[in-house]
Amino acid sequence: MSLLDVSGLSKQFGGLTAVAGMNFTVTGGEILAIIGPNGAGKTTMLNLLSGLLQPTAGSIRLNGTDLAGKLPDVRCHLGLGRAFQVVQPFPEMTVAENVNVGALFGQPGTTAVEAEALTRDALMTSGLWHLRDTPAEDLTLMQEKRLEIARALATRPLILLLDEVMAGLRPGEAREAIDLVRRIRDTGVTVIFIEHVMPVVKDLADRVIVMDYGRMIAEGSYAEVTANPAVIEAYLGTDEEGEDAL
C-alpha cells in the first residue's frame, strides 16, 4: 500500500488555480522530487500536504487516514515533517531548544527525557551538535538549513517535506546537504523535496514529478522526465542551466 495518496487535489486563490487536480502516490522509503518553473504550485502543494492551506477540492491520505480538515499540528503528529524554503528558526532560542520544540511536541506523549535524547540524535544527524548552545539567530545559512531539517527530524516524521533546501548553498555545502538527505532516508524516512538545482535532483531523486501551472506534466525517473519534450518546453529549456549551479 502507498504511504501517501494524493488524489484530485486542487487549490484556488480567488481566480488563480495554484494546484489543479494533482494525483500521485508515494511509497514508503522513496525520495520523490517535485520540480517545475517558478509559480508552478510546488510550495502550495507542500502547504496543502502540511495543512497550512486547505484544498479547494481533492483528498490526501496518509497511511490510509484522510487528512481533510486536519490542522498542521495534527498532521505533524500523524507523521508529516516540514522544512521551510525560507528558513524560520525561533531566533530567541538556542539551536538545541529549537530542535527540542519538535522533539517535545512532534509526537504526543513524549516525555522531556525522551525529547532530550531525540534532540541529541537530530543534532548529531544534521551535524549541529557542536552548535547546540548557539543562539539560532547567529547561524549561517547552511547551518540554518540544517536546523530546519533537524527540527523536522526531531518530530519523527514518516515523510519529510523539504522545500528548496539547497537554494543559496555553495556547491560544497549542497554536497553535504545531499549526504544529509540520504542519511535521513536510510533511517527509514520518506522524503519529498522541491528543488531547482537539477544535478541535486539527478543525484537524490528516485522519482521526479514535474509541475507546471498547477498540473503534473510528467512523472518518472530523472532520465525519463528530462527527456520528456513537454518538460523541456516548460521548464528545462534547451540548454540545462541548472548544470552550472553545482
Partner 1 sequence: MSPLRRVLPHVVVLAVFAVLLWFLPGTIRALFGQASVSYVTLVTNAASLAILALSWDLLARTGQVSLAHAAFFGAGAYSTALLSRFADVPLWLGIPLGGVVAGLIALALGPVTLRLHGIYFAIATLSFTEVLRAVVHQLPSRIAGGAPGLNVPALFRPTFVAGEMERWEVAFIRNEGYFLIYAAVLVFTLLLSIIIQRTRLRYAFTAVRTNQEVAAVMGVNPARTKLLAFVLSSVPVGLLGAVAAHRFGSVNPFETFSIHTTVLALVTPIFGGLYTTVGPLLGATVLAGIEETLRRSLDSGYMIAYGVVLVFAVLFMPRGLVGLLGKLFRRRREAAK
Chain contacts with partner 1 (rule: CB under 8 A): 50-52, 71-73, 75-77, 80-82, 84, 88, 90-93, 97, 100-102, 104-108, 111-113, 115-116, 151-152, 155
Sign for the CA dihedral angle at 42, 164, 73, 77 comes to positive
- Asked if residue 105 lies in contact with residue 81, where contact means CB atoms within 8 angstroms, the answer is no
Please give the Cα distance from 46 to 32 (Å, whole number). 12
Among 65, 63, 67, 32, residue whose Cα is nearest residue 53: 67
Residue with smaller CB distance to partner 1, 102 or 242: 102
Residue with smaller CB distance to partner 1, 115 or 200: 115
Phi/psi of residue 84, each to 5°?
A: -85, 155
Distance (Å) of CA 240 to CA 119, 172, 205:
40, 20, 18
Q: How far is the CB of 192 from partner 1 (least distance, A)?
A: 14
Q: How far is the CB of 91 from partner 1 (least distance, A)?
A: 7
Q: How far is the CB of 206 from partner 1 (least distance, A)?
A: 24
Residue with smaller CB distance to partner 1, 193 or 222: 193
Q: How far is the CB of 50 from partner 1 (least distance, A)?
A: 5
Residue with smaller CB distance to partner 1, 150 or 205: 150
Q: How far is the CB of 29 from partner 1 (least distance, A)?
A: 22
Residue 187 burial by Cβ neighbours in a 10 Å radius (0-12, 13-18, 19+): exposed
Among 151, 153, 158, 165, residue whose Cα is nearest residue 200: 165
- Asked if residue 201 lies in contact with residue 195, where contact means CB atoms within 8 angstroms, the answer is yes
Residue with smaller CB distance to partner 1, 1 or 112: 112
Residue with smaller CB distance to partner 1, 8 or 91: 91
Q: How far is the CB of 93 from partner 1 (least distance, A)?
A: 6
Q: How far is the CB of 246 from partner 1 (least distance, A)?
A: 29
Full DSSP string of 143-158? HHHHHHHHHHHHT--S
What are the helix (H) ranges across the chain? 42-50, 72-78, 95-105, 112-125, 141-154, 171-186, 198-204, 222-227, 229-231
Residue with smaller CB distance to partner 1, 122 or 225: 122
